[in-house]
Amino acid sequence: MSLKKSFVLALSNILYDKMRSILTMLGIIIGVAAVIILVSLMNGMAKMMTDSFAEMGLTTITISTTNRGGSRTIDEEEIYAFRDEHPDLISGVSPTTTISGTVKYQTNSVTTSATGVSEEYATMKSLELQDGRFLQYQEIADYKKVCVIGSYIENELFGFGSALGESIKINGNSYRVVGVLKETEESKSGSADDVIYIPYTTAVRVSRSGTISSYTLTAPNQEIVTTATDALEAMLLEKLGDSDYFRVTNLLSLLDVATEMLDMMQILLVCIAGISLLVGGIGIMNIMLVSVTERTREIGIRKSLGAKGRDIMSQFVIEAGTVSGVGGIFGILLGSVLAIVLGNLLGLTATPSIGAVLLSFSVSVGIGVLFGYLPAKNAAKLNPIEALRHD
């Protein structure tokens, strides 16, 4: 019997007893749908994570230093000097100092933090302004009390009014608002719009710390980030003498670690979902064994008419593969729809990938063929005379 005829016969057997066929395919349908959903959701999470890191800047490098009683220190002039010596590695530098406290305007107040930065920070972080301008070099050099605020701060303190040119108080010190950042997301507490930027020199002075322990730098591109990080670590080790006194991190390496963990989680979840495929395969094997028993007389007639064992085996293997393949198609359709729906509910772009669809379909057919082999082998071994006598 040709492959085409075997396939047509398999479809006719599926349609002959629809309820039994659906129950047989149910495990495959659930397993394939689960794989599609999980892979799509994990891909959506990976994309969301990558986009979030990209917004923060994948070329960003952060330096944190601590004295720990040592005599050696490093200041911003040395960091700027390193940038000037290595323009191919470092494109932007900003010392950063954070001040937490209460921000007031007349009777309105909000508890937040202000970050001291340089005039380069806006370019480094690709900040967009809605009104006014960002901090300027001369304001950094002159310890000016000026600030740039996010849309959340403006809304909380000024309502629907404009904050530009007004003065706000941060921990009792008055700062003039020279710029308002464009809203980037839902304007709420703790969001990217809940920010205040002031000159880092002013932040050091009002905090009375006297030193800067954190620096934000950017590399020209992602390919340079690792090289720049290594060069900074070597420079700091030479100046501070002990790697315990500093830490250099970059978002690109953090993204790699997070992506690796996400990939491991995806493999684990897909393996768990694969248990349903295994159960579906066992169900197919059981039904095919029953089918062989029910069609023993048919097998005897075919063998008496000249059909060989391999013809009988191929028929049942193709039938098992067809059952699981059809189940795989229904599972792909169900999984794709549910993945999109769940992705929308979770705020993810969970679009089923071609790779996941092809993999799921191939595995479903493979499981059908694998678990259909034993019943097919039993059918091929039947004695034609005994099979004809079977009632």
Number of domains in the chain: 2
Q: Is residue 57 part of a domain?
A: no
What's the average model confidence in pLDDT over 374-385?
Answer: 65
**114 and 27 together in one domain:** no
Mean pLDDT score, 171-178:
92
Helix (H, G, I), strand (E, B) or coil at 176: strand
What residues make up the domain containing 351? 3-52+257-389
Instruction: Answer yes or no: do 316 and 384 share one domain.
Output: yes
Q: DSSP secondary-structure letter at 245?
A: G
Domain boundary among 211, 240, 267: 211
Asked whether residue 181 is domain-assigned, the answer is: yes
Averaged confidence pLDDT in the chain: 82
Query: In 3-state terms, what secondary structure has residue 95?
Result: strand
Has residue 235 been placed in a domain? no
119 shares its domain with 188: yes
Highest mean pLDDT out of 143-157, 304-318, 357-371? 143-157
Candidates 59, 175, 73; CA nearest to 125 is 59
221's tokens: 């591109």
Average pLDDT for residues 312-320, to the nearest whole number?
73
Indicate the pTM of the whole model: 0.66
Beta bridge partners of 196: 149
Which residue, among 115, 122, 153, has the nearest Cα to 137 in the 3D structure? Answer: 122
Side chain identity, residue 208? R
pLDDT tens for each residue of 215-244 = 999 998 888 888 999 999 999 988 888 888
Question: What is the reported pLDDT for 149?
Answer: 93
For residues 188-202, average pLDDT? 87
Any domain includes 245: no
Residue 179 lies in a domain: yes
User: For residue 294, what pLDDT is reported?
Assistant: 63
Assess if residue 89 is contained within a domain. no
The model's pLDDT over 50-104, given as tens digits with 9 standing for 90+, comes to 777 776 778 889 998 886 555 567 888 999 999 999 999 999 999 999 988 899 9
Pair of tokens at residue 126: 């690709």
Q: Are 40 and 138 found together in one domain?
A: no
Distance of CA 204 to the CA centre of its chain: 37
Whether residues 266 and 161 share a domain: the answer is: no
pLDDT in tens, 273-283: 777 777 777 77
- Cα separation of 230 and 249, whole Å? 10
Question: Is there a single domain that holds both residue 280 and residue 359?
Answer: yes
pLDDT of residue 292: 66
